[in-house]
Structure formats: C-alpha cells, structure tokens
Amino acid sequence: MQLLVIGRLDGEIGTASRIAMDRGARITQARGLEDALETLRAGHGADLVMIDAQFDVGGFMRSLNQERISVEVVACGIGNDTDAAVRAIKAGAKEYIPLPPDPELIAAVLSAVSEETHAIIHRDEAMARVLKLAERVAPSDASILITGESGTGKELMARFLHRQSKRAANRFVAVNCAAIPENLLESELFGHEKGAFTGAVARRIGKFEEAHGGTLLLDEISEMDLRLQAKLLRVIQEKEIDRLGGSGPVKVDVRLIATSNRNLEEEVRKGTLREDLYYRLNVMTLDMPPLRERPDDIEPLAEHFVEKYSQANEVPVRPLADETRAILRRHPWYGNVRELENTMHRAVLLAQGDAIGPEAILFTGSMTPADEMSAEDRGGADGADTRDDATAADGEARDPATAGLVGRTVADVERTLILDTLDHCLGNRTHAANILGISIRTLRNKLKQYAAEGAAVPPAREAES
C-alpha cells in the first residue's frame, strides 16, 4: 500500500501516518496540493491519498479529474468539525477520518482500499484449473492475454498474476482502453511534456513509465485505435516509449497483461486488431469461465458479498435461506460475478428477518422479487424450456416474455434497453456498457444519437464519461 499524505507530519496527520506505516503502508509526504499533484504526475503513484481537510479538497478532486489521475482520497480533520466532513465527502473523498485518529479506523480504511488485491474466491473445479495455470505462468515475464465475458474477474486475475510474479514488490498499473477517449489514450499511456497539446499544463508521466519494473494491464485492448496499436507494438519490441512533445525515447521495463471480452481472432479477421500485436500479446492465454459454467462458485461468492455489504452498511450478516441458495444456482448470471455482486448488495439492503430470503432477491433488470417470479422468468426450475403453451395464430409457440415487444422496431427496443440499463446504473457509462456487453465507445455513440433525437439521457457519473 503506497500512501501519499498531504499536510504536515508534526501533528495529528503525522500520527495517522505513523499508524498507517505500522499497518504496512509506505508513506510519501506532500506539503501542499501542487506538490501532491507533481508527485502523482511524476509517476510515483499512490494507492491512497490522505489529505488534511483544511486544504481545498474540492479543488484537489477537480484537478485529479481534469488530469485523469485515478486515486482514492480520504480526508482527515478535527473530529467534531462536521462541516469539514460534509464538504470533503461531497467533494468526492471516499472517507472522512476524524482526528485524533483511531488505529482501527485507519486499518479499516487501508483494508477497504486494498481489498481488490485479496485472493480470488472460488470452489469450482473450472476456476481451480485456470488458477493453477496462472500460478505456473505468473513468475515469467511473458505477456499474458486474459479473455472472458464482462464481469468474470479478468482484472482480478491480472492482479493475481502480478502478486505471484517476481515484480510483486513493484507497481501494478491498470489502463481501461475502452473508458478513455482515443485522443487522450496516447498521452495516458506514454505521457507528455508541458505544452505538448492544449490542456497539457504540466509534464505528466504515462502509465508505461509509472509501471516501470512492475506490471501494466491494458484492459479491453480490442478497443484501442489501430494507429495507437502500431505505437504499442513498437514499445513492446523496442522496450522504449516516446512522450508526446518529448525530445527522445525513454526506456521502460514492464510486464504486459491484456484483457478482452471479445473474440480476438475474429477482431483480427475484421481488421480492428493488428495480427502482429495479437501474437505479441498472446504468449499465453487464460480464459475466464462465465459464472454459469462454474456453479460451485455461486454460493461462496454470494456469501462473500453478503458479508462485505453487510459490514459496509452496518447491518447484521444474515445467512442465505436454502430457497435463496437454490434460486441463485438456477439463475443464468449473464452479467457474471458483477451481476451476482449487485444482486447480493440489493439483497443485504432489502432483507428482513433472520435470513436472506427469496423476497430480497431482485435480479438485474427486474423489480419483481425472486419469490414472486415464475420459473420461466428465473430461467426454469429444472433448466428445461418452460415457455407458455399458448400458441400464436400461425400455430407456433410464443414466448410471453417477448409478446410485449411485438410491433416495436429493433431500434426502439434497443434504445429502451440501453436507457433503462443506464438508469439502473445511475448514469455510470462504464458499468452500463459492461452489463450490455458493448464497448463504452459504442454506448457513447448511441447516447449521443438518442440525445439528438430528444430522449432523456441520464447524466454521467464517472469522470471519464
């Protein structure tokens, strides 16, 4: 855990920093906001920023968003200063830590931030086989391609590979190629010098330099522009990058991991992915099985999410009722682990009584509790086709679930699905695109079209949208 502390270290902030060090964090200090931004621009990186609430937390968060620097921020201040706490949280701080600091609270915050590095939860043999292969290839420096549907845990596997590698003591840096506009991704990867383009207010180290000595994850590599793919291929071959506006190449030493939810061989045939880049990245492939093909993982994952969100919402950890377990195992989980996580988060909030019953299970896209759904709506109690026996005028069976769509155009149905999914995700474009199984670029284009047609498009929540 790399912790960047903004403020003086001779007071309560210093005490909080020493507690964090005792818990295993490595500390870097910045005396002010510009000093902190320079540290982050220089590629030294941080997993968490702890800022004195006396500083302009809102201004600091705006600077991070404008410069596309992704890092969690917690604010610290005098315990009874509720106004400062409210301002910090509204500005975007993840937590507010009252001073004098409580060692257990500091530990909890550090644990929450580092939780993504925990072991992959599994019980199914299908996932065990993938992990066994990952353990064998992790110590090498070979590039690895991780494939699988959205929500199967590809980034979690990439972090597992990093922790098992000889680079584990160095940084793991992730870049979502689908979430960053094409005209900014080059600067994000390779960095830029001050004045290299409009908006380049200071020198910025790119992700390749930031990951020097460690691992760089290129998430959704198939979404990268072909021109940038050519530059990436050169970096892999020459092991050096050129900053935008720079005067010469910079040597880099990184281990590359790439992920995609697409069939990359098909992308190569379509011409959207360079064949030479594909073979450079695909030294070893790890294919993440969808959740429906690893049914023995459903219950332990569900229990993990129940415990996680019960603690986050300060409610009792309730066990899963037997009927609930059966319903979860029957569900097809097209959104994979991400859908299961959202479902269990809702269940924790809705559950009443001593256990989480079917009435608390609301599947994505449905406002009907599982105990009120038909077997057909849940995917069939025994996995069989449970369509209604009613027949259409032409004698063919008609699925009641799609009967309401008859008479509507495909474009109209698609628009409703996209907008409803976006509304469900509270405007989060990245999450909505993952659920829909489309790229964020495609989603943005669709939303631009719908807005031009006069549709009410939910406002974006995340900075990259």
Q: 272 near 222, Cβ under 8 Å?
A: yes
Please report the pLDDT score of residue 67 as a whole number. 78
Residue 157: predicted pLDDT: 95
* Residues 257 and 168 reside in one and the same domain: yes
Is the pLDDT confidence value at 114 over 70? no
Same structural domain for residues 324 and 425? Answer: no
Asked if residue 428 is part of any domain, the answer here is yes
Sorted by sequence, the CB contacts under 8 Å of residue 10 that are 6+ apart come out as: none
Q: What is the pLDDT, as a whole number, of residue 420?
A: 81
At 354, is the pLDDT very low, low, confident or very high (cuts 50, 70, 90)? very high
Q: Which of 192, 158, 162, 195 is nearest to 176 (CA)?
A: 158
In this model, does residue 396 exceed pLDDT 80? no
Per-residue pLDDT, averaged over 208-213, amounts to: 94
Give the pTM: 0.66
Does the structure show a pLDDT above 60 at 411? yes
Strands (E), 65-185: 72-78, 95-99, 144-147, 172-176
For residue 464, tell me if it sits in a domain: no
Contacts of 239 (CB under 8 A, 6+ apart): 251, 252, 253
Do residues 441 and 434 make contact, with C-beta atoms less than 8 angstroms apart?
Answer: no
The tokens describing 348, both together, are 């924790």
**Do 264 and 296 fall into the same domain?**
no
One domain, residues 172 and 277: yes
Tokens 């959207």, residue located: 272
Boundary residue ending a domain (115, 135, 159): 115
pLDDT, residue 380, reads 45
Tell me 318's DSSP state.
Answer: P
Determine, yes or no, domain membership for 104: yes
Per-residue pLDDT at 392 exceeds 50:
no
What is the pLDDT confidence band of residue 405, given thresholds at 50, 70 and 90?
Answer: low
296 shares a domain with 281 = no
405 in a structural domain: no
Same domain as 208, residue 162: yes
- pLDDT > 90? residue 144: yes
In whole angstroms, what is the distance from residue 59 CA to residue 57 CA?
6
221 has pLDDT over 60: yes
Question: What's 46's domain CATH number?
Answer: 3.40.50.2300
* The total number of structural domains that make up the chain: 4
Q: Other C-beta atoms within 10 Å of 150: how many?
A: 21
Q: Is the pLDDT of residue 464 over 70?
A: no
Q: Is the pLDDT of residue 177 over 60?
A: yes
Label residue 404 by pLDDT band (50, 70, 90).
low
Look at residues 265, 289, 313 and tell me which one is the last residue of a structural domain: 289
pLDDT higher than threshold 50 for residue 299:
yes
- Please tell me whether residues 315 and 382 are part of one structural domain: yes
Angle of helix 336-350 relative to helix 429-436, nearest 10 degrees, comes to 120
Count of Cβ atoms closer than 10 Å to residue 335 Cβ: 24
3 state SS of 99: strand
Same domain, 214 and 325: no
**What are residue 215's DSSP bridge partners?**
172, 255
pLDDT of residue 395: 38
**pLDDT tens by residue, 159-171:** 999 989 999 888 8
Does residue 458 fall inside a structural domain?
no
pLDDT at 371 (0 to 100): 64
Residue numbers of the domain that contains 177: 126-289
Same domain, 30 and 163: no
Question: Is 35 a residue whose pLDDT tops 50?
Answer: yes
Q: The dihedral of CA 126, 131, 134, 135: what is its sign?
A: negative
Nearest-CA neighbor of 51 among 21, 93, 23?
Answer: 93
Residues 180 and 206 in one domain: yes
Name the token pair of 259: 């992920």
3-state helix, strand, coil in the chain (%, to 5): 45, 15, 40
pLDDT at site 289: 96
The residue-averaged pLDDT of 330-336 equals: 93
53 found inside a domain: yes
Alpha helices, DSSP H only, in 102-239? 103-114, 125-137, 154-163, 182-190, 207-210, 226-238
Q: Is the dihedral of CA 352, 353, 358, 361 positive or negative?
A: positive
Which CATH number characterizes residue 203's domain? 3.40.50.300
At 219 the pLDDT is: 94
- Distance (Å, whole) CA 368 – CA 358: 11
Describe the strand order of the beta sheet including 172-176 as a list of residue ranges: 172-176, 215-219, 255-260, 144-147, 284-287
Structure tokens given for 337: 């682990």
Q: Are residues 361 and 417 in the same domain?
A: no
* Residues in contact with 327: Cβ distance below 8 Å, sequence separation at least 6, in sequence order: 358, 361, 370, 378
Q: How far apart are the first and last CA of the chain?
A: 28
* pLDDT above 70 as % of the chain: 87
pLDDT on residue 372:
62
pLDDT in tens, 94-105: 888 888 878 887
* Model pLDDT, residue 20: 83
In a domain, 396, yes or no: no
> Phi/psi of residue 17, each to 5°?
-65, -40
pLDDT surpassing 60 at residue 378? no
DSSP state of 97: E
With beta carbons less than 8 A apart as the criterion, state whether 190 and 241 touch.
yes
| 222 has pLDDT over 50 | yes
pLDDT at residue number 452: 78
Determine, yes or no, domain membership for 462: no
Q: What are the structure tokens assigned to 227, written together?
A: 């021109």
DSSP 175: E
**CATH number for the domain including 303?**
1.10.8.60
Confidence of residue 230 (pLDDT cuts 50, 70, 90): very high
> How much is the pLDDT for 374?
53
Confidence at 137, pLDDT banded by 50, 70, 90 = very high
> Per-residue pLDDT tens for 244-293?
888 889 999 999 999 999 999 999 999 999 999 999 999 999 999 999 99
Q: Which of 289, 314, 340 is the last residue of a domain?
A: 289
Mean pLDDT of 9-30: 81
Q: Which residues contact 388 (CB under 8 A, 6 or more apart)?
A: 376, 397, 398, 399, 400
In sequence order, the 6+-apart residues with CB closer than 8 A to the CB of 396 are none
Does 387 have pLDDT greater than 70? no
Q: How confident is the model at residue 456 (pLDDT cuts 50, 70, 90)?
A: confident
How far apart (Å, rounded) are the C-alpha atoms in residues 26 and 21?
Answer: 6
Closest CA to 8 of 35, 37, 40, 41: 35
What's at 15, amino acid-wise?
T
Confidence of residue 373 (pLDDT cuts 50, 70, 90): low
Query: Which of 60-74, 220-234, 358-372 shows the highest mean pLDDT?
Result: 220-234
Instruction: Give yes or no: residues 155 and 281 share one domain.
Output: yes
The dihedral formed by the CA atoms of 327, 330, 334 and 336, expressed in degrees to the nearest 10: 70
Q: What is the pLDDT of residue 368?
A: 59
